[in-house]
Structure 1
Amino acid sequence: MNMEISCRAACAEMCGSELAPNLTGRVCFFDVRGGTWIEAEICGLPAYRAAGKDGQPIGPHGFHIHEGASCESAHAADPFTSAGGHWNPTNQPHGNHAGDFPVLFSNHGVAIMHFFTDRFSVEDVIDKTVIIHQNPDDYRSQPAGNSGKRLACGVIRLCSGCR
């Protein structure tokens, strides 16, 4: 498969909430033949913790595009509410949203992932947000996969030039 990455690119600089203040990273989007190539490099993810009495493990981490254009956080206990809900331009059930990504697996706090989607172009996601959640996405609970609290947020902005 020939991916031919173009100069059309966008990136989200990730910033951790008070729940994960050391979480940083970058998620980049590149137009390629037939869709979009996504690259994520994240540091400072919390260590995996098995499910406790509440039934939710910490990690692997839910990872999505959200519809809002802001990462403002009014409440420490419920960060990044300004990012809105999951981006779902075709009104699909959860697990099939254009903004549903694979979960992030942390290896000593680091996650590096590259993947392809044909569900959107770079232009479609400009001024949306990327959210990393505390818990894994179950890909079936409606409307958002029961991924838990928001650990990090980044607004997707157009980049200039090629890398």
Structure 2
Amino acid sequence: MYGYYPNVPYRPAQAADEAKVTFLSSPLAPDLKGIMQFYQRPYGVEVFVQVEGLPPFKKEKNGVQVGPHGFHIHEKGVCELGDGKEPFKSAGGHWNPNQQPHGNHPGDFPVLFSNHGRARMIFFTDRFKVEDIIGKSVIIHQSPDDYRSQPAGNAGKRIACGIIEKS
């Protein structure tokens, strides 16, 4: 049964147990739009993401791969576009409160696979609580995360940003 955990009484999520993100696009993916939602559950956080307008997969001549798209929680809740060449640098680096190597940051997420520009995913993590991430940002990157390059996984340019807010 969905939502059943032995010895833990079920209770509906409260507003303090939920957060949301609305993504802002960059010139690197001008049609990108989407949302993300976080729901506190008894043993962790259920995460839902839905986006459209993702750039299609391709290999650039310089070896850069576009897609699948890495995405992560970043340390600052600021999504300033800047000059548009290196968008959303204002969000800072990956959120890493435990000083872990990349691939083990609490905000490291699975990559987004584009299906004709769309991606939808639900996953579960016990690496943080919803209350820990309010005011941070989520960045979608141009390239896949390799989960080992330090400090940030070599996921390339930032193509979208959204601030995590209480629902």
Shorter-normalised TM range: over 0.9
Aligned residue number for residue 105 of structure 1: 113
1:26 to 35, 47, 71: 35
Do residues 144 (structure 1) and 134 (structure 2) align?
Answer: no
- Where does 1:1-150 land on structure 2 (aligned, <5 Å)? 2-3=2-3, 6-7=13-14, 8-49=17-58, 51-150=59-158
SS of corresponding position for 1:54: coil
1:65-120 superposed Cα distances (whole Å, 9 cap, x missing partner)? 00011101212100001100000111100000001000000000000000000000
SS of corresponding position for 2:131: helix
Q: What amino acid does structure 2 have at the position aligned with 1:70?
A: V
SS of corresponding position for 1:68: coil
Structure 2 contact 60–66 (Cα < 8 Å) conserved: no
1:22-66 superposed Cα distances (whole Å, 9 cap, x missing partner)? 1000011000011100000001000111x3332221100011000
Q: Aligned pairs, how many? A: 158
SS of corresponding position for 1:28: strand
Q: What amino acid does structure 1 have at the position aligned with 2:163?
A: V
Structure 1 unmatched ranges of 5 or more: none
SS of corresponding position for 2:23: strand
1:156 to 156, 160, 164: 164
Q: What amino acid does structure 1 have at the position aligned with 2:147?
A: Y
- Structure 1 position 2, deviation (Å): 4.8
Aligned CA-pair RMSD: 1.2
Structure 2 unmatched ranges of 5 or more: 4-9
TM-score by length of 2: 0.91
Q: What amino acid does structure 2 have at the position aligned with 1:154?
A: G
Q: Distance in 1 between matches of 2:29 and 2:87?
A: 10
